[in-house]
Structure 1
Amino acid sequence: MPPRKAPFRATAPRVILLAIAAVVVTLLFVPGINSMSPKEEPARIAVHRGEGFRRIVEKLHDAGVIRFRWPLLAAGALVPPLHKIKPGRYTISGNHSVFGLLWYLHSRPQDEVRVMIPNGVEQRKIARIIAANLDIDSTAFIAASRDPRLLASLGIKGESTEGYLFPGTYNFAWASTPKEVITFLTRRFRAFYSDSLKQEAKQAGLDEHQLLTLASIVEAETPLDEEKPVIASVYLNRLKKNMRLQADPTVQYAIPGESRPLHYKDLAIDSPYNTYRHAGLPPGPICNPGAASIRAVLSPANTGYLYFVATGQGGHAFATTLAEHARNVQRYRAARKEQQKNPGGGTP
């Protein structure tokens, strides 16, 4: 009679395999096994575009979300789709299982950020606003705004998106790309620029680019909506008479760097944007105008004004003749002199 094999020897490999499987299942699926001790505050990590899976796991470890790295790396190897973690900011609270944590990171919608783009801001300043709120570098934003392929896809004739980034308050995904933000803002302008406005522009003899260019000058001249149709009338009257626009904001735009007070020598700067030297409109918009400035160009006030100057009190004084304009300039200088003597505005 042949000797019988010991039952333990026969079942030992199965027991070992079952034990290993139990450990793996516990590590991967049971909440809290690979988690650090619960914290009072949730952990927060940011996943930037282009970061690899190992780097994300490292961030989770550094933030105190996980105790060991290898269970997540093993789970990612077992289920490759879980490697695909969207860029974004993640707030992680409670004890997750390994698969639960990866699934949360894989499937969670991107968080949104509310961003306000003011009227009349140049695109380089918009780039800084976007960079301060979203995971976008301002240099990359400017590069995208000048990308010929993107400009062609958006139907923009100019050399950049200046003028087409429609001001407003919007929600953006924190991990948006420069192209996505630029496309969204341009489409907001397209949505505003209705067929009826297009017809008005056509009747005024302005194409889209010319309209935005003139509207951007109006925007840069005054923040007062009630003044904008009058400002627009001045520039349209000058264009009809073949007079140079002589708009200070266009000279300001031609000067590199941050805005500063203009000097007389600046008016001679050699730039196609210098409307003191060159007749007609500049090559393109000098900022991104809001709805009121665009409508002001399409529905200007009916005036004979050809000149205007600041009053020193927030508005402008308008004139039809050079002599009248000279008197307004004298009044402005007197007002400025008085302000300098009494900066507080009260009784000395």
Structure 2
Amino acid sequence: MSGGRERKKIFPEGIHLSKRSGLTLAFTLLMVLVGLFALWSLLWPLTIAKGNVRIVVQSGSSFSEVADALVREKVVASSLNLKVLAGRSGADKRVLPGEYQFRRGMSYTEALDVLRRGPIKKVFTVVIPEGFTIDQIADRLKARTEVDAEEFRRLAKEGRTSDHASSALWSYDFLESNPGSSLEGYLFPKTYRIDEDTTADEFLNRLLAQFEKETSSLDWSVAKARNLTVYEVVTVASLIEKEAKIPEERSLIAAVIYNRLQMGMPLQIDATVQYILPMKKTGLTEDDLKTASPYNTYLQLGLPPGPICNPGLACLKAALNPAEVDYLYYVLTDSDGRHAFTSSYEDFVKAKQEAKKGLK
């Protein structure tokens, strides 16, 4: 009887151990399945979107930004998963800027392979600052892009007289009043993305199209009231761009220019002399001011023959909205570019003498 009791005691315990083992086994299988699913979600897409898409990676973009762009375009489903895999393989360390082609619904490993191979087309980011001249833009293109800089320089300066320029370059309405062949003044300053196949003609068209877009909402009635053409307003804006360093002085300098024009006074703007010199100087000499050129506003009355740089929107607005003041003179008084404005020559001389004591 005692042996029987032992067997009855052991039997329930055996059953109990079997349940525990089953639970352990089930939990283990669940963890394996979860791990397999996690691995599968990392390696294969969770999106059913189809078709190809091209994505431009800009210079300086982080891998996180690239991953977010791939999710937005439905190339992959999760930026987190892509970043995890990229981090493990080191693919997130450096992605070359340029244009990439992906297939929507790619696996994460496939997307990373595309990034590792590099762009199908290089894309360059070039900043054209306010006040740059044609020559400065051409030099920047040469240094930072694959655009033919010399062709750009030639087309921008020769314009309609060039055999290589497309007719589209001169199809813009705002160029109707331009009597010359140069496009100086209309190459709108901005940050542009240029791919390796962009031609000089194409980039010029982009700059002109941007000028048209940016200036489309400007009120040109002031120009008509002053009997000025678009070309002359752009010329005034270019003078303001070179002279004004403080934003609030733009409209004041515009007023000085218009006031002097109205009174038949020479503009005597240093920037017009700098424009004709082979190299920019920190200060002009008496000989510089005597340089024979239609652009020298110390020797010539009226506006120079054309713009001396490519002005930004703020200076174009100032040229169309000069301050209502009677100023005729201004002199640099501060190292930050600030000027003193006067209506009389006597006050101008006093301000100049004060300035000679040393800029603040």
Give the shorter-chain TM-score range.
0.5 to 0.7
Q: 2:345 corresponds to which letter in structure 1? A: L
Between 1:155-164 and 1:307-316, the stretch displaced more is: 155-164
Render the CA deviation track for 1:313-342: whole Å, top value 9, x for unaligned.
320001100000001101110024xx7xxx
Shift, 1:279, TM fit = 0.4
Q: Among 252, 255, 277, which residue is 2:274 paired with? A: 252
> Distance in 2 between the 1:119 and 1:281 partners?
20
Q: Superposed, which structure 2 residues align to 1:1-348 within 5 Å?
A: 110-145=121-156, 146-148=158-160, 149=162, 150=165, 152-154=170-172, 155=175, 156-194=178-216, 196-314=218-336, 315-336=338-359
Distance in structure 2 (CA, Å) of the matches to 1:144 and 1:260: 30
Question: What CA distance in whole angstroms lies between the structure 1 residues aligned with 2:243 and 2:132?
Answer: 12
Q: 1:180 to 1:157 in 2, by over 3 A?
A: farther
Q: Which amino acid aligns with 2:260?
A: R
What is the CA-CA distance between 1:250 and the residue it aligns to?
0.3
Question: Which has the larger Rg?
Answer: 2
Deviation, 1:136, is 2.1
Residue 184 of structure 1: how far off its partner (Å)? 0.6
In 1, the alpha carbon distance for the partners of 2:147 and 2:280 equals: 21
Q: What is the CA–CA distance in structure 2 between the aligned matches of 1:122 and 1:259, rounded to whole Å?
A: 16
Letter in 2 for 1:227: E
Please give the TM-score of this superposition, normalised by the length of structure 2: 0.61
Q: How far apart are residue 263 of structure 1 and its match?
A: 0.4
Aligned equivalents of 2:147, 2:282: Cα separation in 1: 27
SS of residue in 1 equivalent to 2:299:
coil
Amino acid at match of 1:312: D
Provide the residue aligned with 2:15 in structure 1.
none
Show structure 1 runs of 4+ deviating over 3 A. Answer: 88-92, 108-111, 149-157, 257-260
What is the TM-score with the length of structure 1 in the denominator?
A: 0.63
Unaligned runs of 5+ in 2: 1-96, 102-118
Q: In 2, distance between residues paired with 1:206 and 1:261?
A: 31
Cα pair 2:242 2:271 within 8 Å, conserved: yes
What is the distance in 2 between the residues matched to 1:257 and 1:122? 13
Residues 98 and 120 in structure 2, CA contact (< 8 A), matched pair in contact too:
no
Q: In the alignment, which residue of structure 1 is the partner of 2:88?
A: none
Q: What is the Cα-based RMSD across aligned positions, in Å?
A: 2.3
Q: C-alpha distance in 2, partners of 1:221/1:252?
A: 11
Q: What's the secondary structure of 1:147's corresponding residue?
A: helix
- The letter for the 1-side match of 2:210 is R
Query: Identity, % of aligned pairs?
Result: 36
Counterpart contact for 1:134–1:175, Cα < 8 Å? no
Q: Where does residue 38 of structure 1 map in the other structure?
A: none
Distance apart, 1:109 and its partner CA: 6.1
Q: Are the structure 2 counterparts of residues 309 and 199 from structure 1 closer, same or farther at C-alpha, using a change threshold of 3 Å?
A: same
1:245-287 deviations in Å (ceiling 9; x for gaps): 0111001111123445210111111100000111000000001
Q: Is the 1:204–1:298 contact (alpha carbons within 8 Å) kept by the matching residues of 2?
A: no
Q: What's the CA shift string for 1:203-257, capped at 9, x where partnerless?
A: 3322111011110001000222111000111111001111110111001111123
The superposition leaves residues 291-325 of structure 1 with CA deviations (integer Å, 9 ceiling, x where unpaired) of 11110011111111000000033200011000000
Secondary structure of 1:318 counterpart: strand
